[in-house]
Amino acid sequence: MVADSPFVSDVPAAEALEAWHEGCVAAGCPARVDVMRVPVGDAVGRVTAEPVWARRSSPAFDSAGMDGIAVHAADTVGAAETTPVRLADFAVVDTGDPLPEGYDAVVMREHVHRDADGTAEVRTAAPPYQHVRSIGEDISATELLLPAGHRLRPVDVAAAAAAGAVELAVRRAPVVVIVPTGDEIRPIGTEPAPGEILDTNSLMLAAQARELGCEARVTPIVRDDPAVITEALRAAAADADLVVLIAGSSAGRDDYTARVVAGAGTLSVHGVAVRPGHPVVLGAVDATPVLGAPGYPVSASLTFDIFAAPLLASLEGAAPRERPTTTARLARKLASNVGMDDWVRVRLGRVGGEVVATPLPRGAGVLTSLVRADGLLVVPAGLEGHHAGEHVRVELLRGLGEIGRTIVAIGSHDLVLDMAASALRADDPLVTLASSNVGSLGGLVALRDGLCHIAGSHLLDPATGEYTLPYVDKILDGDKIAVVRLVHREQGLIVAPGNPLGLSGVDDLVREGLRYVNRQRGAGTRVLLDHELARRDLDPGQVSGYSREEHTHLAVAAAVAAGRADTGLGIRAAARAFGLDFVPVAEEPYDLVLRDSGLHDELLAPLWALLESPTFRAEVEALGGYSCAETGHRIR
């Protein structure tokens, strides 16, 4: 009996970093990158390699702090409203002018009356050094201006230049070389054949390295052959301060990274207690640290954040960059693996004065979960998760101001919401419409629980044949709730081009051998199917594939397009998007449900204006399967 059990372990992240560090030291990796001297103007973003002491004072001379006249303070003694003093000996100065020799105070020009005879009258006594900027007011020669290990910002280099620095000793940018591996990986720009994958990870990790101020280079894609990978790794290590080897870090048949690193150098860690990210390889080859990153894009990105970023900061001798955090209320229960740090991507919105966090899909392959994330919530190992409503600490990926200007839509998915999101943003970069797709019912519940501003719904009440309103009464008590029509849209069976099985309607769904793909529980489209089946006295159990669930219209269409299902109920726009055919079943209203205060809320105003726009309506109807006859009408 042959058991291929995986040999990756679960080392906690902090221990893994420590083990990697020790392994690197033992392997002779340098603690810091080299020092170079660069002109002050080129030093921004780099890290000081030594303290910057002021060589010169700034200002370098006493100067006028105001526009006015320079005077001898002693000459003004006794000046007052009733006893003005007339001065013949003064000098006109502007702010910043050196204080002319012999004068020791400045009187603001608003407080001076100059006569045609060249004298000036002052009505307040000027104490010595009034409005005089002293030499060294900003910087005293020899003081410590900046410590070593400081990442230089624009103000820092300006101050260093003012203090007499012409060049600064800084660490050079660390060099990161990224080595993509895998027989199935193809360069971006090629058209991948079935089973092939575009090398988007290299693009992403190189960009992440550059964001950290590093130089990044990507090698050609290396095929799954340990000898070739070893050669590529050694070549990369020769030029790099860090090599990132992408994929092959797991324990599959083609996963050679750990073996290759162990063979060519030191393997410190294989497998970390971080999800997503788990099968990570940390080691060193030829005195160069090596990170073996998993091929799943979310794992690759987070792994770089968690392991590469601190190493790179340490090579520069600087503190790692950190993300700001905020406290948020968790929209729903979050279970977590007790043995792992769980990095959960969340959407954030400010609803009812509080920041609310809604977890996004957690798969390591769902890169869009990171694209759409406003924050990261780490559930540390040892914790089983969080309850709904619990307050949690979230690392911010977007600014809180921007989050506060985001319209949060939770509920059913519709392409028109996507179009609205895009149109709103194009109009005003400050407006964001973020929608999470949890089905109509989920949306109404989210609205009830204060998790969103609007809920998109097309829920049919089989008893009355009415859409959405009966549910509003039931779930939301109907209190202070407004309902605004977004569109009418056609629902129907999405079928392969040419409708090869000749489906004509819901009656055909019980046909022997037909493969249906359904929507998730709580989705309006599923309720519609149930209703249509019930009307015909058909039993869901008779529909093969009834229990297979997808979460969006597009996912259903994708399944049909891939030949993985014969049909599924969905909107015409989804069929059209995939070049599929469509058998109409029903026309239904799709509505936006909200607290009625939202009708006059500044945040939502751009949305209501958009729904009135003829251009927008024309674009929606051009999608096919939509009618805007009642768009924007308040139906409750």
Interacting positions 531-550 with a copy of itself (CB under 8 A): 548, 550
Is 25 near a copy of itself (CB under 8 A)?
A: no
Angle at 558 between CA 557 and CA 560, to 5 degrees: 65
Residues 432-451 that bind a copy of itself (CB under 8 A): 432
CB of 325 to a copy of itself, least distance (A): 7
CB of 611 to a copy of itself, least distance (A): 17
* Continuous H helices in 125-221: 154-162, 200-211
Q: How far apart are CA 233 and CA 221, in angstroms?
A: 12
CB of 316 to a copy of itself, least distance (A): 8
- Of residues 146 and 447, the one with the C-beta less far from a copy of itself: 146
Taking alpha carbons only, the member of 87, 73, 85 closest to residue 117 is: 87
The pair of three-digit structure tokens given for residue 147, joined into one six-digit string: 């410590």
Pairing of strands 354-359, 325-330: parallel
Among 28, 41, 339, 584, binds a copy of itself (CB under 8 A): 41
Is 321 near a copy of itself (CB under 8 A)?
A: yes
Residues 51-70 that bind a copy of itself (CB under 8 A): 51, 57-62, 65, 67
Site string for a copy of itself, 377-416 (x = CB under 8 A): -------------------x--xxxx--x---------x-
The pair of three-digit structure tokens given for residue 142, joined into one six-digit string: 């020899």
In sequence order, the β-bridge partners of residue 398 are: none
The pair of three-digit structure tokens given for residue 587, joined into one six-digit string: 């026309």
Is 322 near a copy of itself (CB under 8 A)?
A: yes
Is 591 near a copy of itself (CB under 8 A)?
A: no
Tell me the longest C-alpha to C-alpha distance in the chain.
113
Among 9, 327, 422, 542, binds a copy of itself (CB under 8 A): 422
CB of 581 to a copy of itself, least distance (A): 16
Angle at 333 between CA 475 and CA 345, to 5 degrees: 115
Is 425 near a copy of itself (CB under 8 A)?
A: yes
Taking alpha carbons only, the member of 331, 332, 337, 241 closest to residue 289 is: 241
Is 1 near a copy of itself (CB under 8 A)?
A: yes
Q: How far apart are CA 314 and CA 308, in angstroms?
A: 10
CB of 2 to a copy of itself, least distance (A): 5
266 by Cβ neighbours in 10 Å (0-12 / 13-18 / 19+) ranks as buried
**What is the number of other CB atoms lying within 10 angstroms of the CB of residue 378?**
18
The pair of three-digit structure tokens given for residue 421, joined into one six-digit string: 């999101």
Is 4 near a copy of itself (CB under 8 A)?
A: yes
Contact in structure between 274 and 341 (CB atoms under 8 Å): yes
Residues 565-584 that bind a copy of itself (CB under 8 A): 574, 577-578
Q: Distances from the Cα of 183 to the Cαs of 173, 186, 198, 217, 366, in angstroms?
A: 32, 8, 11, 20, 22
Contact in structure between 545 and 465 (CB atoms under 8 Å): no
**What is the number of other CB atoms lying within 10 angstroms of the CB of residue 342?**
22
The pair of three-digit structure tokens given for residue 397, joined into one six-digit string: 């990926």
CB of 624 to a copy of itself, least distance (A): 12
Candidates 229-237, 428-436, 503-511, 534-542; binding stretch for a copy of itself (CB under 8 A): 428-436
Residues 160-179 that bind a copy of itself (CB under 8 A): 161-162, 166
Candidates 281-289, 293-301, 452-460, 593-601; binding stretch for a copy of itself (CB under 8 A): 293-301
- Of residues 379 and 574, the one with the C-beta less far from a copy of itself: 574
Is 255 near a copy of itself (CB under 8 A)?
A: yes
Task: Specify the 3-state DSSP secondary structure of 405.
Answer: coil
Pairing of strands 242-246, 175-180: parallel
Chain centroid to Cα 383, Å, comes to 25
Phi, then psi, of 529 in degrees rounded to 5: -60, -50
Is 251 near a copy of itself (CB under 8 A)?
A: yes
Among 231, 234, 287, 314, binds a copy of itself (CB under 8 A): 314
Residues 207-246 that bind a copy of itself (CB under 8 A): 207-208, 210-211
Is 619 near a copy of itself (CB under 8 A)?
A: no
- Of residues 572 and 595, the one with the C-beta less far from a copy of itself: 572
Is 297 near a copy of itself (CB under 8 A)?
A: yes
Candidates 312-320, 446-454, 486-494, 604-612; binding stretch for a copy of itself (CB under 8 A): 312-320
Among 37, 86, 113, 391, binds a copy of itself (CB under 8 A): 113
